[in-house]
Amino acid sequence: MNTDILSPQDALIAVMIAVSAADEKIVQSELAAITSIVGILPVFEGYDRDRIGHISSLVADLFEEEDGIDALIGLVEGALPDHLRETAYALACDVAAADGRIQQTEMRMLEIIRHDLRVGRLAAAAIERGARARHQKLEPVA
């Protein structure tokens, strides 16, 4: 796979996978969230879902390198048009919230994404609150 060129859709998927892999393990709920997102959102219309495995491998390979996170963010920045930067952050937040708890490593990855994609603090707070609200679970009835 040519790592120099990602489509905007590839970049969105790379961000989701990066957040999921930030704690060095991708849990089933996060994979299910990524698959669901790709199947539902209009931005992924016409996307070849077989590429998800390739993007996942790319992210894993980059995470093995010393400056891999910076390299990944550079690829994502180069592929994303400005109007999809908040979308990338929103998708990353949804994946992080999918398993009901956000690990410290995931929070750090979200911070890197927010900063490097230049998502404003107000927009980021709204996006984060929306993700938290979407992934709430019913409390067990006592």
Per residue in 99-114, pLDDT (tens digit) is 777 889 999 999 999 9
Say what percent of the chain tops pLDDT 90. 59
Q: What is the mean pLDDT of the chain?
A: 89
From the number of C-beta atoms within 10 Å of its C-beta (0-12, 13-18, 19+), residue 31 rates as: middle
pLDDT in tens, 5-40: 899 999 999 999 999 988 777 777 778 888 889 999
Contact 84, 12 (CB under 8 A): yes
Domain boundaries, given as residue ranges, for the chain = 8-134
Q: Report the range of poorest mean pLDDT among 15-19, 70-74, 112-116, 130-134.
A: 130-134
Residue 1's pLDDT band, with cuts at 50, 70 and 90, is very low
For tokens 């299910």, name the residue.
Answer: 32
Residue 130's pLDDT band, with cuts at 50, 70 and 90, is very high
Predicted TM-score (pTM) of this structure? 0.88
Distance CA 106, CA 123 (A): 19
What is the 3-state secondary structure of 70-132? HHHHHHHHHHCCHHHHHHHHHHHHHHHHCCCCCCHHHHHHHHHHHHHCCCCHHHHHHHHHHHH
pLDDT in tens, 83-93: 999 999 999 99
For tokens 């089933």, name the residue.
Answer: 28
Distance CA 101, CA 129 (A): 14
Fold annotation for 8-134: TerB-like (1.10.3680)
